Amino acid sequence: MSIILTQLNEEQIGQIVKDSLNTILAESNLQNQNQTETKIELYTKDDIRKIFGVSLVTIHNWMKKGFLSYIKIGRRVYFKKQDINAALISINLADFNSVQSFIDKKAKK
């Protein structure tokens, strides 16, 4: 956009500058939102061990059974925060079903 400033009054120049700054700020905010949304928190097996208070063997079993999704980068294994939350739900449901099954068996006796 090409503007000849000599043909504009002070108010018009001020409005053009204001509009331009608003556009730049809006684009900047949009870029910042996109960068924030693409951030993914990754955790290691040791982090998971500390969070859940379980052994590495238990974590390996959860991975093997599909309770806990993971990402391999090179030789390292990482877990996404959203996958950890999903695993909590799965593991709690499995525990609930085990407890419910135990209660049902006791009730039948």
Q: What is the pLDDT along the chain (109 residues), one digit of tens a residue?
A: 555 556 667 777 777 777 776 777 677 666 666 555 567 789 999 998 888 788 999 889 888 988 888 999 899 999 998 888 877 776 666 655 555 565 556 556 5
Residue 1 lies in a domain: no
Mutual angle of helices 56-65 and 45-52, in 10-degree steps: 100
- Residues 32, 61 share a domain: no
What's the residue count for the chain?
A: 109
Domain total in the chain: 2
- Residues 66, 99 share a domain: yes
Q: Which single residue is written with the structure tokens 């390292």?
A: 76
Residue 4 lies in a domain: no
Buried b (16+ CB within 10 A) or exposed e, 74-103: eeebbbeeebbeebeeebeeeeeeeeeeee
- Residues 46, 33 share a domain: no
- Residues 51, 68 share a domain: yes
The CATH number that applies at residue 51 is 1.10.1660
- Measured in whole angstroms, the distance separating CA 102 from the mean position of its chain's CA atoms is 36
- Residues 79, 97 share a domain: yes
Domain extent, residue 33, equals 10-37
